[in-house]
Chain A
């Protein structure tokens, strides 16, 4: 299938999102689509698949002009879309999810479960996925849910598959499998549109790349003729110095210390500390227990084994409310689900953990609150018209800044960041890194959980590698490299 989109325009209300985008997808190619958040990538793909209707422009498929009224039409025509937001039905089984609205039925209208199982098993085998078909989808990890979505799209016999950030929640091993699948799809003539923020992946798997900026196409280039720097320059429209700002760490005393921390069946005997002014990176495969350790540390999962010390004092963190009082902040990986009250204005979100500090005689002092919030919005350069804009109307990067602002507001001693730049564009990523530097300069200890190795290597002063619920090793900034981290993360030994 050959698709050509020309001069596509689209506005939502008065907000012009696409202003004359051109893109061409060739038969059997893997085509990267890159751009900062808000550049219009997803909108363009939603127009192609009938989820939105274009205002202007033409879409030609195999020489014929074509407009889909809805996603189902596009799917029947052979264009499948794997969305960034996972659409699983948590209470249905994996099998039921795979066949939702497409269940094969007998002539009496009964669902043919056996047939479903056969098709699903075959598909999973191709993907080398081993999720039990009868498992409830809600019990699956995010990575597994992503694989379900991918399998679902493949089952439609699509000629063109659009993947929007497919690897965001996958482990490296799962990404390898995904790439194998992409290669074999390509060999059989399927075209893939691959949307991602991860440069390494794009240069590994893609044939051509189209870069978008501010609702327009910058250009399309074959991958061998371009470079990381070139792509970044096109995306942001300016030179970016390094991806990671330089760090000049000057660590002080240990602010947080953890001894023998454990939770039955989840992780055990975890020992580490974080010093003032230091960034401790936490690497490991998905499901190794990184996030769980942090949740326990923050009092989210109740009782635990072992001891936690803050400033040398033994503390008992029973709930997040205590953790916050101790000066801990937690930026979780699920920004929308756990970080923000989306219906709340920016102001109320930022003020939420610090209400106490501007309450007098049980009343919130609104003027003080407003000043406090404005100061933080300015300091974090949150791009917004006003502090009363609702959080749901912000881009991913700006939302993340609001979450960070909220925690800076409490004057934290220790800040735990879980996947701090997930779904955040290159420009905002760098701003977040710079902010982390500013915080450590002021003596905050940062613990950063990340699945992006370049980020771990670029920002951490020390790297803890978690493997199967325990800390498999600790690497210092100068000795850490991708290979060592991956060796430890997969259960190997590093001589150091």
Chain B
């Protein structure tokens, strides 16, 4: 009897983990039935490159949401840090160094969020709503509302967003490498465990001697850093920094996290789910384009898919 319960529980756990994956497979099957060119290697590689930016941002968002928070400012952090990177490149700094400094600046912007939330005791939604506006404003001030171009012709820099390595787009490689590193951080380090603990029960985490404020600041910094990294890919791909870059990216990132089965109330979720969630959104975008669905209608479909995914998840939980 006991083993039956245990068995049932395990099956439940597996379906919970596999749910998003099954969803992705089903979507791929449906799309490729309607348009077989979806499965062509070139298209799939293209899809991975398109997904990379959202996936990187969504990884950071996963950590934030696991602590029970939210980060609305990721798109603006992407814009501001990529503008700063481009500015440094224009002024002659080595592009790779500019990207590294830009990523660190992204982490600082994330730290500002973290400090507002912990030291300022602001709700994450409010704090990041404010910084979303503020960082966007700073981007516009810095760029004067114009794109920054003339970034030089460093090969390494061009490779970052446009290149291939062993036939695989470099952004996709970045996406998978980042996944591997973040997976280890989330599942194998005390920092990852603390991230879950804070989202599961912040008071208990505090009383257990976890420096909750420090962990939160680190989590938001990580989200900022990953947004800036996504920004670097975008700058390389467009060979310019756009002042309006990253608008509404927070929504796609949150959608990827939620599609991946992470609970918005914190404490429960997996980063592999987020990667799959980002792939689902990418497949939808790519597939609907191939099927010639208008971009207006695409938004409707995306919204419906999110609702269906969450409804299925609820049902399983009950």
Contacts and interface: CB of A to CB of B under 8 A. Distances in A.
Interface of A: 13-14, 298, 300, 319-321, 323-325, 330, 332, 337-344, 348, 351-353, 355-356, 359, 362-364, 366, 385, 406, 410
Interface in B1-39: 1-2, 4-6
Given A13-B5, A352-B197, A355-B193, A339 B188 contact: no
Contacts of A359: 189-190
B43 interface: no
| Interface of chain B: mostly helix, strand, loop or mixed | helix
Given A348-B193, A364-B193, A341 B201 contact: yes
Contacts of B207: 298, 300, 320, 330, 332, 338-339
B197 A341 contact: yes
B222 to A, nearest CB: 15
A352 B189 contact: no
Interface in B167-197: 184, 188-190, 193-194, 196-197
Contacts of A348: 193, 196-197
Contacts of B203: 337-338
B267 A364 contact: no
A330 to B, nearest CB: 6
Contacts of A338: 201, 203-204, 207
B303 interface: no
B6 A324 contact: no
B205 interface: yes
Interface of B: 1-2, 4-6, 184, 188-190, 193-194, 196-197, 200-201, 203-211, 267-268
B196 A324 contact: no
Given A319-B206, A325-B209, A406-B208, 20 more contacts: A13-B5, A320-B206, A320-B207, A324-B208, A324-B209, A337-B204, A339-B204, A341-B196, A341-B267, A342-B200, A343-B268, A344-B200, A348-B197, A352-B193, A352-B205, A352-B208, A359-B190, A362-B190, A363-B184, A385-B6
B197 A364 contact: no
Nearest to B210: A321
Contacts of A344: 196-197, 200, 267
Nearest to A340: B204
A323 B189 contact: no
Contacts of A319: 206, 211
Contacts of A351: 193
A363 B181 CA distance: 12
A351 B208 CA distance: 10
B51 to A, nearest CB: 29
B206 A300 contact: yes
Contacts, number: 82
A385 B2 CA distance: 9
A321 B190 contact: no
Contact of A14 (B5, B209, B210): B5
Nearest to A361: B189
A337 B203 CA distance: 7
A132 to B, nearest CB: 28
Contacts of B196: 341, 344, 348
B313 to A, nearest CB: 16
A321 B211 contact: yes
B37 to A, nearest CB: 44
Contacts of A332: 207
Nearest to B214: A321
A364 B186 CA distance: 11
A341 B193 CA distance: 12
A353 B194 CA distance: 10
Contacts of A342: 200-201
Contacts of A323: 209
User: Which of B189, B194, B197, B208 is packed against the most chain A CB atoms within 10 Å?
Assistant: B208
A341 B200 contact: yes
Instruction: Kindly list the 7 A-B residue pairs having the minimum CB-CB distance in the complex, ordered from nearest.
Output: A324-B209, A341-B200, A355-B190, A352-B208, A353-B208, A341-B201, A321-B211
B218 to A, nearest CB: 13
Contacts of B193: 348, 351-352, 355, 364
A377 to B, nearest CB: 17
Nearest to B192: A364
B208 to A, nearest CB: 4
Nearest to A359: B190
Nearest to A338: B203
Contacts of A320: 206-209
A356 B204 contact: no
A343 B188 contact: no
A364 B188 contact: yes
A320 B204 CA distance: 11
Contacts of A300: 206-207
Contacts of B184: 363
Contacts of B6: 385
B68 to A, nearest CB: 12
Contacts of A352: 193, 197, 204-205, 208, 210
Given A343-B267, A352-B197, A362 B189 contact: yes
A471 to B, nearest CB: 24
Contacts of A298: 207
Contacts of B204: 337-341, 352
A353 B209 CA distance: 6
User: Which of B193, B205, B209, B267 is packed against the most chain A CB atoms within 10 Å?
Assistant: B209
A9 B207 CA distance: 41
Nearest to A353: B208
